[in-house]
Amino acid sequence: MPEKPRSAERRERFETDSGIEVRRVYGPEPPDPEVGLPGEYPFVRGIYPNMYRGRLWTMRQYAGFGTAEETNRRYKYLVEQGQTGLSVAFDLPTQLGLDSDSPLAVGEVGKAGVSISTLQDMETLFDGIPLERISTSMTINSPASVLLAMYVAVAEGQGVAPGQLSGTIQNDILKEYAARNTYIFPPDFSMRLATDTIMYCSRSLPRWNSISISGYHIREAGSDAVQELAFTLADGIAYVEAVRDRGMAVDDFAPRLSFFFSSDSHFFEEVAKYRAARRLWAKIMKERFGAQKKESMMLRFHTQTAGSSLTARQPLNNVVRVTLQALAAVLGGTQSLHTNSYDEALSLPTEDAVRIALRTQQIIAEESGAADTADPLGSSRYVEELTDELERRASEYIARIDGLGGMIRAIARGFVQREIERSAYRKQREIETQKRTVVGVNKYCIEEGERIKLLTVDQNAVEAQLARLKAFREGRDARRHGEALSALDAVAAGDGNLLPPILEAVRARATVGEICDVFRRRFGEHREPSTLWE
């Protein structure tokens, strides 16, 4: 495994191609107190004084397909190409807490992400990857606690202490009910799992982000920028309230909360959205929750370019879309970034496509000058007014949600879902009536030749995965396995933190599906209520 790339190290002097010195930050003196300076409350201009001068954002390409062996090879390839952090995409059965041999998993194993059922799978996924040096993000929600426990157990096997691990677990169940629908359990128990994970990480994994509160999937489901901003921060409020109500001081866990946003196609609105998000969250944490630590008020976020904007027609146009979206994320001050591959509207990304996606980030970082000064678009009248208006409209949404009793009740009543559905319908109608242009789809269309090369999942590899799972079950200590699951069920019946017994079950070689089945039997599964428009 190669050393982590040194592209994160930055030069000391910054200047244009003509030799004009570039200052750390530009803007009025003294600064507007509602905007401030980079690294200062309310963090509109960024959460660090030097932003990317000191260290570039983490280039974290989302990847996962087929088996753990195949995905491990892709991870090593990406790191060799200069990626600076890993991001795990799990297949649909894993996201739903199903083992790969479940009857409900047929036809889905390894298709939209990597198949992980066992600790052995997780060990293979990170084989040869030093977890004390690589930051890992895992996009997993309902069974997030189980996959996190497996990651900790893999690290133990590498001789890496929990305190050395850095990364993020998504663990955002509320947006699943609102937008994405890969939930398993009823909301009350799901919130217990999420808050247990936040509390466990705060105490045992000090460098780990215990949740990534996700607006990305809200936007992908069809919301506009205001809704993405409002619903994401409203989810954040719900998590802070839930952990606080269980007796943990806000400043003891808030510094490790993180967020996840989309970068869509309206360049300036996206830049303004990130700026508005930082100010709004800083005010919420300070004024609503009484946070004292500066770190508790900082909104740190990952960005992914908009998958829903990618087109199957003229797919090479997606390279341009992704470049503009990535630049908006950088100018908006993201902490890490995934750039989509141009072929993702057609299949899982090929190596050629994912390399171009990564090179897009590297060219922005190393050649464009966009990273040389903090908040380059700050003080633009257009961007500042967009920032103010996005914050105002998002605040109005949050007030409406508060009036409904908070985000959990707003979701239960179908309010959030209906708002997203209306927005998605409006956008699609605008495309169909050509009020909204999608180049190559409803304007500037051409007769296309041969399709680009696509990536496919090897069915033989899926069969090998099923055989490994069978052998894994046959080779474990049945007594230890049974006792660990019984102990987990006993804790689930009470109010203790579930992470320690989940970790013990993983060590006893319980599978993802078996651990989730303990919870299914005790708490049942969630059924989506009707969200018919009012």
Q: What is the pLDDT of residues 182-214, one digit of tens each?
A: 999 999 999 999 999 999 999 999 999 999 999
Across the range 373-399, mean pLDDT stands at 98
Average pLDDT over residues 47-66: 93
Q: What DSSP designation does 308 have?
A: G
How would residue 461 be classed by pLDDT, with cut points 50, 70 and 90? confident
Q: How far apart are CA 516 and CA 499, in angstroms?
A: 13
Question: For position 450, what pLDDT does the model report?
Answer: 62
Task: Convert the pLDDT of each residue in 380-392 to its tens digit.
Answer: 999 999 999 999 9
Average pLDDT over residues 117-134: 96
Instruction: List, for residues 165-176, the tens digit of each pLDDT value.
Output: 999 999 999 999
Tell me which CATH code domain 6-432 carries.
Answer: 3.20.20.240
- Work out the number of other CB atoms within 10 angstroms of the CB of residue 159: 9
Q: Distance between CA atoms of 284 and 289, rounded to whole angstroms?
A: 7
What mean pLDDT is reported for the chain? 94
Q: What are phi and psi of 130, to 5 degrees?
A: -75, 105
Is pLDDT larger for residue 236 or for residue 528?
Answer: 236
- Annotate 138-178 with three-state secondary structure: EECCCCHHHHHHHHHHHHHHHCCCHHHCCEEECCCCHHHHH
Mean per-residue pLDDT for 32-50?
Answer: 97
Residue 178 CA to its chain's centroid (Å): 16
Closest CA to 143 of 206, 209, 90, 214: 90
> Going by C-beta distance under 8 Å and a sequence separation of 6 or more, which residues neighbour residue 247?
none
Chain-centre distance for alpha carbon 80: 23
What number is the average pLDDT over the span 13-23?
A: 94
Kindly report, residue by residue over 316-361, the tens digit of the pLDDT.
Answer: 999 999 999 999 999 999 999 999 999 999 988 999 999 999 999 9
Residue 456 has pLDDT above 80, yes or no: no
* pLDDT score at 458: 74
| Spatial separation of the C-alpha atoms in residues 314 and 130, rounded to whole Å | 39
pLDDT (tens digit, 9 = 90+) per residue, 516-531?
999 999 999 998 866 5
Looking at residue 448, its pLDDT comes to: 80
> For residue 89, is pLDDT > 50?
yes
Q: What is the pLDDT of residues 484-506, one digit of tens each?
A: 999 999 999 999 999 999 999 99
Asked if the model's pLDDT at residue 378 lies above 60, the reply is yes
